[in-house]
Chain A
Amino acid sequence: MLKIENLVSHYKTIEALHGISLSVGSDEIVALIGSNGAGKTTLLNSISGHVTKSGLIEFNGTDISNMPAHRIARCGLLQVPEGRHVFPGLIVEENLFVGTTAITGIRLLAGNQKEKLDMVFSLFPRLEERRTQLAWSLSGGEQQMLAISRALMGNPKLLMLDEPSMGLAPKVIEELFGKIVEINRLGTPVLLVEQNAKLALSVSARAYILERGNITLEGPSEELISDERVREAYLGKRKSKNQ
């Protein structure tokens, strides 16, 4: 589905990713774990066409590494960015309509989107209650639901989520991750970026660990969760090392 080889990314003269290789299969949840500043967002933004880079990025057999961002989205590779980025001045429903641009491009009228709206509202009933509210007025959890739903309105062939748990209460996170698993079960592969390693490993089939712009570890999530290095660095099982 998504295949990345030897990806090197730059901000001006600073190299932020030093040769990443990674793949996501057609029905799995793959987690990308790393601490703050490791380069997780840079990786997603490189894939979606927002960071200067070199290397191979193939999506469904097509080389997308030189495509502009909006074309990549129209291929069905949809990113829900860090910080949600709902359109604050549009109401919930309009935010969702805008998401359909990924399928149809710009047009005069939104057309009948009832089927799609029903689909996201059944997944997130709270959004239906908030349907005519301006997006900025939603709570953090609701904004995250809206951001994911907006991507779902675009029929993603692969969904890239950047730290969906950020800033949310534990109960909300639990509910949200249940929905992410459900979305995946309905047939959408997910590349899940998280600082919260425990959570990400518990819902994913495979995982990559990113440290300072390099993948340092990869494998089935079950194995990583019991890996000594992972436990020490990401699961709060710190030993004497720091003392």
Chain B
Amino acid sequence: MNLQLLFSGFSTGIIYSLIAMGMVLIFRSVGIMNFAQGEFLMFGGYFCYMFNRLLDLPIGLSLILASICMGFVGVVFMRTSYWPLRHAESKAIIVSAMGASIALKEGARLIWGAVPVTVDRASEGVVNIGTAVIMKQNIAIIVIAFMVMVLIYLLLEKTFIGNIMQATAQDQYMASLTGIPVIVSIGMTFAISAMITGIGGGLLAPLFFLNNTMGTTAGAKAFAAIVIGGFGSVPGAIVGGIIVGLVEAFGGAYISSTYQLVLIYVVLFIVLMLRPQGLFGEKIQEKA
């Protein structure tokens, strides 16, 4: 087993998990796959770049500030791309999200330019395990992403505000009958979704550089992760993301680096053939 590949695959994979998890939170809340989710990753990365490189703030603080900014982006996205169309057919909302993704891509280019940029590593240097040389950034990514996931779990499952968001996702009509302002509750879900995905951008930037189109491929991989993990399942999205990252790393090294994306889809087809509902999916999820 090649530890170096394992760590790099796992760490990029867990970033796909952050994107996929963000998509699933929105999907569970409003029943729409947000195809602009990858752009949240890219935008979050640029915010991080702005705080870290343009304003010279430390990377830890930059990640937090970038995430907060992404919360606002999530709310604005929800208010402009989803809310006005909430009673329309879902394909209208999907098209609107695609429009938003173009706006985000071009917006990033206008604000931050077209030259690829980077940010500081959250942790410098390497660790040697046997003969393997592992970048500390890879470990930092895994640790930070894991902390974000635990925080989100606690927020959604162990707090009242989390119950409110779940209740709204399960039954908007009933939520409003109990006094929940549905738009606020859904807005919070979009904010959280954009925040966790946005942090991924800041974590990924030191490894791959940021450019304004990076979100599209990352989003496609996250979508594959969701299908592999099981549509609508949060644990599925996390595991699916890691699988995609590992397939990419090992497949790239041992099979072909040009056909990484193809390999991901091959794995996806195999999983779907063996388990059509995905790894963690229930047969058909009833949305009460």
Binding site for B on A (CB under 8 A): 48-50, 68-70, 73-74, 78-79, 81, 85, 87-90, 94-95, 97-99, 101-103, 105-111, 136, 150-151, 154
Contact = CB atoms under 8 A, between A and B. Distances in A.
Contacts of A89: 166, 170, 288
A90 B156 CA distance: 11
B173 A98 contact: no
Given A90-B166, A97-B160, A110-B160, A85 B179 contact: no
A102 B170 CA distance: 18
Interface of B: 159-161, 163-164, 166-167, 170-171, 173-182, 184-185, 286, 288
Q: Of B159, B174, B176, B288, which is in contact with the most chain A CB atoms at under 10 Å from its CB?
A: B174
A151 B174 CA distance: 11
A160 B176 CA distance: 15
A69 B176 contact: yes
Contacts, number: 88
A102 B161 contact: no
Chain B: interface secondary structure? helix
30 contacts: A48-B177, A50-B173, A68-B176, A70-B176, A70-B179, A70-B181, A73-B177, A73-B178, A78-B177, A81-B173, A85-B171, A85-B173, A87-B167, A89-B170, A90-B166, A90-B170, A94-B163, A94-B166, A95-B167, A98-B167, A101-B179, A101-B180, A106-B181, A106-B185, A107-B161, A108-B159, A109-B159, A111-B160, A150-B178, A154-B179
A95 to B, nearest CB: 8
A151 B178 CA distance: 7
A70 B163 contact: no
Contact of A79 (B159, B160, B170, B177): B177
Contact of A102 (B167, B178, B182): B178
Contact of B174 (A68, A87, A102): A87
